[in-house]
Amino acid sequence: MILHPAIIALYLSSFISVALLIYSSSFAAMILRKWDIGSGSELQLSLERRTYLISVILSYLFFFQFLSLFLFIYTADNLHNLFTGSMCAAGTLNVNQYGYPVLVLKIVNFILAGVWLIINRIDISAHDYPLIKNKYSLLLFVAPLMIAESALQTAYFMGLNADVITSCCGSLFSSDSTNITSEIASLPSLQAKAVFYISMTLTLAAGIVLCYKNKGGLLFSILSLLSFVISVAALISFISLYYYELPTHHCPFCILQSEYGYAGYYLYLTLLCGVVTGIGAGIAGRFSNIKSLAPVILVIQKKLIIASLLSYGIFTAIVTLKMILSDFILEGY
């Protein structure tokens, strides 16, 4: 275990999140069982008041979830020189088996949290809380995942032991078997480029169809999720190489460093924004037949589609410009 300030901060944030989540989940369970909008009972009134609290708690929680995703990567990156053979976050996350699962869970939870906030936003725009059961079911689904994330994160940090000099000899002789691999498997670049541009084009087309013809909401959600996964793969396969100008360094984390102008932050930000609003747009479409939502749902859906397409558009534009303007030629030999 390493007593680094950032690790203490991440522990603190995950413990607070878990406590607030358990608190919210207990009310979510009660709402699912006892909610009756037509009733004027004491219980219903107090539940209606509670929904404000839960909304506020979760908005804060999900905002911190977003920050902690980046703090986690940054911490992993910052700790890399404590481990033999590790060059950046990729190596640190590989130190024990929990590193990558924590990262994946953090991303999944971030997306789910974003979708929850979108559903919440739609729900409170109508007078009769039409989506209350959906949103609290989703909360009960997200809560265990977030608790698992905290548990795994604790296990990950507990399992980190810096390779420091011991009194008998340098560490490399006492633990030379645990050399960390910091390379990441990647797809061949030409194929990855083709798949990346095709997926972006398809998402754009689906978004336009959904916007004008109001058809294919589910397809748009699936495509935007696929585009997210493909874009991350593309980042590893070829995009990052244009930033490093090195044909061998496939690392999705180093672009977050200051040497590359913190390029990773806006690239990941646009991707995360794209996937959350993309999935949200598809889900919003499914509620269009609810009467009390009818006047607002199309407006919200349109906004979400535009936000998603804009995010992916900015991402594609930045990446394409980087590839065109760079002196680096990837398929040059």
Taking residue 293's Cβ as centre, other Cβ atoms within 10 Å add up to 20
The residue range among 8-16, 30-38, 143-151, 294-302 that interacts with another protein, by the rule CB under 8 A, is: 8-16
Q: Does 82 bind another protein (CB under 8 A)?
A: yes
- Judged by CB under 8 A, which of 33, 167, 289, 333 binds another protein? 167
Q: Does 42 bind another protein (CB under 8 A)?
A: no
- Judged by CB under 8 A, which of 127, 168, 332, 333 binds another protein? 168
Q: Where are the beta strands (DSSP E) in 2-145?
A: none
Minimum distance between the CB of residue 167 and another protein, rounded to whole angstroms?
Answer: 7
- 124 or 314: whose CB is closer to another protein? 124
- Judged by CB under 8 A, which of 38, 42, 127, 164 binds another protein? 164
Taking residue 234's Cβ as centre, other Cβ atoms within 10 Å add up to 24
Q: What is the C-alpha to C-alpha distance for residues 251 and 270, in angstroms, rounded to an integer? A: 18
Q: Which of 252, 271, 277 is nearest to 312 (CA)?
A: 271
Q: What is the C-alpha to C-alpha distance for residues 310 and 195, in angstroms, rounded to an integer? A: 20
Helix (H) or strand (E) holding 27: helix 5-34
Sign of torsion over alpha carbons 284, 302, 277, 127: negative
Q: Does 52 bind another protein (CB under 8 A)?
A: yes
- 163 or 283: whose CB is closer to another protein? 163
Q: Does 81 bind another protein (CB under 8 A)?
A: yes
Q: Does 127 bind another protein (CB under 8 A)?
A: no
Binding footprint of another protein, residue count (CB under 8 A): 44
- 43 or 321: whose CB is closer to another protein? 43
Minimum distance between the CB of residue 219 and another protein, rounded to whole angstroms?
Answer: 29
Q: Which of 22, 284, 302, 298 is nearest to 130 (CA)?
A: 284
Question: How many angstroms separate the first and last alpha carbons of the chain?
Answer: 45
Q: What is the C-alpha to C-alpha distance for residues 255 and 240, in angstroms, rounded to an integer? A: 7
Q: Does 71 bind another protein (CB under 8 A)?
A: yes
Minimum distance between the CB of residue 303 and another protein, rounded to whole angstroms?
Answer: 10
Minimum distance between the CB of residue 272 and another protein, rounded to whole angstroms?
Answer: 17
**What is the SS3 assignment for 61?**
helix
**What tokens appear for 215 in the block?**
């058809």
DSSP string, 211-274: HHH---HHHHHHHHHHHHHHHHHHIIIIIHHHHHT-TT---SSGGGSGGGTTHHHHHHHHHHHH
Q: Which of 231, 221, 314 is nearest to 270 (CA)?
A: 314
Instruction: Tell me the chain's radius of gyration from C-alpha atoms.
Output: 23
Q: Does 121 bind another protein (CB under 8 A)?
A: no
Q: Does 185 bind another protein (CB under 8 A)?
A: no
Minimum distance between the CB of residue 171 and another protein, rounded to whole angstroms?
Answer: 6
Q: Does 325 bind another protein (CB under 8 A)?
A: no
Minimum distance between the CB of residue 200 and another protein, rounded to whole angstroms?
Answer: 28
- Judged by CB under 8 A, which of 57, 147, 233, 318 binds another protein? 57
Minimum distance between the CB of residue 198 and another protein, rounded to whole angstroms?
Answer: 35
User: At a CB cut-off of 8 Å and minimum separation 6, what does 153 contact?
Assistant: 10, 11, 14, 72, 98, 102
- 60 or 329: whose CB is closer to another protein? 60
The residue range among 32-40, 145-153, 161-169, 209-217 that interacts with another protein, by the rule CB under 8 A, is: 161-169
Chain residues binding another protein by CB under 8 A are: 2-10, 12-13, 16, 19-20, 49, 52-53, 56-57, 60, 64, 67-68, 70-71, 74-75, 78, 81-82, 84, 124, 162-165, 167-173, 258
